[in-house]
Amino acid sequence: MTVGGRHGRDRRSSKGRGNFKTNQSVHRTSQRSRSESATKRQRVSDFDSNVSEIADFVQSVSREENLIKVLVDELLKDQAIRYCLIDVFISDIFDELQNRINTLELRHDEMEQYSRRTFLKMSGILKPESATSDEDTDSKVMSVINNMIINHHDKKLSHREIGRKHKWGKRKYHDIMI
């Protein structure tokens, strides 16, 4: 028994199948949206609890900060503690300033090392005959200075008191810059 339709199909059977598919997809969609809304509610709940925990933490830090301020104020009222703190700060400042002075003195010495004002040029010191023999300019300079220049004084010049010594020139009798 076929009930008329356009192409000889049964309207009831085709209609029933189509509705089943439509109802099934609607059912899946509603389940998905319920699941998504439950997930969103859970996220909001988690977010609210996180915000609540953060607010509690901020309040506890604020209370601890106030307590620390009160304790510091009480400690600073004691003169002995104030003097100890002053000594510590002065010591730190002194050490820092001493380091800066030492650094500046080193830099000054380095900059002045080749300054023309502090050069002493000694000419006529004989160069050794062989190119392989080491020339001891320190000994030659010290000998000339101590024996010829400051001979009449009691104090003699030491190696530590001369910063640098360099040979100067290519002649047989070359200059030495001190």
pLDDT tens track for 111-168: 877 665 667 777 766 665 655 445 566 777 778 778 877 777 777 777 777 766 666 6
Residue 175 within any structural domain of the chain: yes
Do 123 and 89 lie in one domain? The reply is no
Residue 161 within any structural domain of the chain: yes
Which residue range is the domain that position 92 belongs to?
A: 78-111
Residue 31 pLDDT greater than 80, yes or no: no
Do 22 and 49 lie in one domain? The reply is yes
Q: pLDDT at position 1, please? A: 46
H or E segment to which residue 124 belongs:
strand 121-126
Percent of the chain scoring above 90 in pLDDT:
21
Do 60 and 107 lie in one domain? The reply is no
H or E segment to which residue 166 belongs:
strand 166-168
Residue 177 within any structural domain of the chain: yes
Residue 160 within any structural domain of the chain: yes
Distance CA 19, CA 153 (A): 125
Domain count, the chain: 3
Strand ordering across the sheet containing 173-177 = 121-126, 173-177, 166-168
Other CB atoms within 10 A of residue 10 CB? 13
Whether 122 contacts 175, CB under 8 Å: yes
User: Beta strand pairing status for 121-126 and 173-177?
Assistant: antiparallel
Q: pLDDT at position 87, please? A: 92
Tokens of 112: 């002045």
